[in-house]
A and B are shown apart, each in its own frame.
Chain A
Amino acid sequence: MARPAARQLELVPAEPPGRKPARLEVARPPRAGAPAPAGAGAGGAAAPAAPERAAAAPAPHAPRRRATAEQMAQRQREISISEFFTKNRHLLGFDNPSKALLTTIKEAVDNSLDACEEAGILPEITVEVRDLAWEKSQGNDLTKGEGRFVVVVEDNGPGIVKAQVPKIFGKLLYGSKFHRLKQSRGQQGIGISAAAMYGQLTTGQPIRVVSRTGKARPAHLFEIQIDTRKNDPVVTRDDEQREWHQEHGTRVELEIVANWQQGQKFVNRYVEHTALANPHATVHYLRPKQERLTFPRATDELPKEALEIKPHPHGVELGALMLMAAESRSHDVKGFLGSAFSRVSPAVADEILKAAAFKGRVRPRDLAEDRHLAESLHRAIQATKIMAPPTNCLSPIGDALMKKGLVSFLQVIESEGPEAEEEGQLDLDSAGKKRKSAKERRAEAAAPEVPDAPPEEGVEKIKGHNYFIATVTRPPRVYRGNPFQVEVGLAYGGSWPADKPIELFRFANRVPLLFQRGACGVTEAVVKTDWRNYLLSQPRGSLPVGPMALLVHVASVWVPFTSESKEAVAHYPEIIREIQLAAQECGRKLATHIRKRQHADYQAQRRSIFELYIEEVAQALGKITGKSPAPIKREFLRVAEQVTEAELEEKEAAEKASGNPRRRDEDE
């Protein structure tokens, strides 16, 4: 069960983590011209910048020396991880107490889902937020603004072996996912320990972890603090717990300063959408002063396992190539290429080498040291035709499951809406706000039921509302050597408002993206799609308007984010195009549905319209011809009965013949 432990390794600080910008300067050391990445030792991160800049500055007249190297050396010292964190907390998603609340929950939940998936367990996850001040004062109002909260996330995953627990939660840059290429939520080995650090810095409280790896083994309870100078865990409590209700799993408890009043809308959305994109997971959501909310799993099928792949040569950057060469144990470049990359057969390696046209013998070590050699190899790689990378590293949600996810998502939000409003205190997220008020709903309920139309394919009746659901999963594609896959799902109708822009739900590797919608490539692709072709209205350069939620999922071994905070997908043309194609495909299904519905509405409407106008027409005709209007009216009514379906079709045919310029989008 605890298989992942073998792969949990410590990352050397010289090679800092993937997502935070601090790494940007350091992760590709060769860029700056220093030829020996191995030499960039600990603590070298910030120091070299200053002298370099001083040297490069143009000097019109010789400037006065301000500090000697010796003086500066006194100031050069290791930067503690907590100092770094305190300065850069916004980069890690802890900008303010409301966002920090979400980030803490998100890091823990993403880990739980990753662990369950890797271990092959159907996840059952509990997310709990507790308002400490309110609990003490029982009966009063919830904390307004900032306050002390406890976040609890519990899973039924594989658990964590005892020896690993301290490092995982008490050391930044420690994890199992950084060194491999496969679709997962976490990547950096910094997430949960950063949350622990945030808790410690704001409340002084250690993170509490209970974990158990199997029935036969006891659970362990830890309290862990981080020695922020050394970036090392300090275990302040380590108890065996004979009794624990889970056979295996992990429970994480963090006390943090948070703002529930403002932050809950993000958390609500995150939890709802996580359930939506992970239909194989059951999620319980417990909030202060509110009923427990459960998103039951919509399927017992685990997502297809994402396999690990080696990087594709076309995706590698020069700096990374040099690092890989430095680490290579191969004796020659051909061996290095074949072992470090996917899709490099001996024949392909020969072709690359021919294009690189090295003079004399070149070893991987030489590449790591000689920037020019590495550059010619890099160029040769780009110039060589290489088979696309394998795509078994991807694990899309899939058409059927996306649909199930949407249905159960709608089921929960349909019932949650009014209840939450009656509470009167929940600041609903924007999706909630757009739903109808409780009053409107009651009025609707009182209205006579319209008999059901015969069920149409794709239409789901959820709590009395009809939703049309369509999904599309595109085949895998590649951008810059990285395989990726796009999926789009939509839910149309029901109680979504018809006169507002659609709800756009963005996901990357099944993780909901809640911020920076405008800066996201997904948004661009949806806006660029001409939804008027699919019978929605769409103001120029905006999201379409209509009663619809659109889900877009980008899955990749390496999702390109616009920034380190992982909030928006970068604008790669390959990705944008795939999203557009998927949206168009879904849109066509939508248009078919809307036409059918219009047809049905139309028949019901026409009756009443005709009856309305017949009176007027009969009066006018009677006056013009000097006859009594009553018999004229009777005759009109008689014809109204007879006007048949055939005529309707005739009219539609005529409309088509008159050529309305729809259908401009091409597929593929």
Chain B
Amino acid sequence: MARMDVVSKQTAQKIERLAEQVMRAVKGGKNPFVEIPVRSLANVRFDPRKRIVQLGGQRQKRYFFNVAMAKKFMQTFLVSDACKELVESGKTTSIRDLYYITKHTIGETRQNTFEEQDESDPIIEDLEVALDALREELHLFASRKGSMVGPITIRDSGDTIDLRRMGSGGWAVPSIVEENVIEFVRHEARYVLLIEKDAVWTRFNEDKFWKRERCVILQGGGQPPRGVRRLVQRLHAELKLPVYVLVDNDPWGFYIYSVMKQGSINLAYESMRMAVPDARFVGLSSFDKDKFRLPANVAIKMDDGDVSRAKQMLGYPWFKEARWQREIQEMVRSGVKFELEALSRRGISFITEEYLPRKLKEKDWLE
């Protein structure tokens, strides 16, 4: 608990410093501004040594006395104020809540401080990078989805939970999984398996795959939310568990893997704490259709969007390696994609009993 106070105090101080700096500028007759690292593709680069996507050095000044920026400047401080209050009172809330907290009508006008949540969400991200504070440190969380089971015991906000006894639904991964909320107590896991889809994860749980294989299985309902990614990263970094990713055989699946591995463009400033450059792609590979004798009628034809997306991936620096190139090229060449569920054609538990064990045994994965 003491630690948490230190972090909160620091966060509150950061916000205060931001405000004081503005007030100093105004006192000195200057146009006050907030400096914000640019969060766009132009300011994102792949660091080949750390093997993650990172924010570049570009910063942008948000002035108050500038017609185009004044409103955002004002919004930045409304959000800052609200966050400072959250931090000081020790409460955490959703970003949707924050939108309602900060929304009100301005003066005698019909203008609102925020018209849509779409307006306040980017201001929050701006503030995170400007303060160099995590969203969690601002006491905010985004949507919550994702579940986890496995031979591990954790402590969540003081409650000790054995993830072997989570029934069919598993433990719901919260949005904030920092050490002050989630602690790892003990475990017997040998690795972490991140599964793209809820339905497939359910199969793994029902088949008690995690028990047999002694692993932690997680799912993030498609593109995993920050909480899930951060948790995977902590399991990898703190418990030294290798991470395997199991996704559909389509460009979107590859992209999910790529985000887990190097971070996303949108959240590039958090790659350091979210990405697992060593994450391994176990499937579904474009070559699995032959290896596992999948009938042609379970294939789905790729549309134009799929093809161009796949071709674009051929250019990603982290997919430059020959095996990855072959993998993606095979997808483009064959013009078809497969869902994980396609494996069920070979038997309902084929994926847990034959497919994955064989892939792991043969070390048939990509990195």
Contact = CB atoms under 8 A, between A and B. Distances in A.
Contact of B31 (A617, A620, A638, A639): A639
Contact of B107 (A612, A625, A635, A638): A612
A6 interface: no
B109 A612 contact: yes
A609 B19 contact: no
Contact of B19 (A602, A624, A638, A639): A624
A624 B31 CA distance: 20
Given A613-B73, A620-B80, A640-B65, A625 B20 contact: yes
Contacts of A621: 19, 22-23, 77
Task: Name B's interface SS.
Answer: helix
A406 B107 CA distance: 44
Interface string A631-663: 010011011101100010001000000000000
B361 interface: no
Contacts of A358: none
A620 B22 CA distance: 12
Nearest to A621: B19
Looking at chain B, what size class is its interface with the partner chain? 20 to 34
Nearest to B68: A651
B80 A613 contact: no
Interface string B110-124: 010100000000000
Nearest to B65: A643
Nearest to B79: A620
Interface string B270-307: 00000000000000000000000000000000000000
Nearest to B113: A616
Nearest to A603: B67
Contacts of B71: 609, 613
Interface residues of A, number: 25
Interface string B64-80: 11110011011001101
B80 to A, nearest CB: 6
Interface in A71-92: none
Contact of A615 (B22, B31, B84, B107): B107
A304 interface: no
Interface in A603-628: 605-606, 609-610, 612-613, 615-617, 620-621, 623-625
Contacts of A612: 106-107, 109, 111
Given A609-B67, A617-B64, A620-B78, A625 B106 contact: no
A634 to B, nearest CB: 10
A617 B71 CA distance: 10
A616 B113 CA distance: 9
Chain A interface, >50% SS class:
helix
B327 to A, nearest CB: 37
B336 interface: no
B16 interface: yes
Contacts of B19: 620-621, 624-625
Contact of B78 (A616, A643, A651): A616
B107 A624 contact: no
Contacts of B27: 635
A642 B78 contact: no
B74 A617 contact: yes
A575 B131 CA distance: 60
Contact of B81 (A610, A615, A623): A623
Interface in B44-67: 64-67
Contacts of A623: 81, 84-85
B199 interface: no
Interface in B108-144: 109, 111, 113
B75 to A, nearest CB: 9
Given A624-B80, A639-B29, A632 B111 contact: no
Given A610-B65, A620-B77, A620-B81, A625 B70 contact: no
Given A620-B78, A621-B19, A621-B23, A613 B84 contact: no
Given A620-B78, A624-B84, A605 B67 contact: yes
Contacts of B29: 638-639, 642
Contacts of B74: 613, 616-617, 620
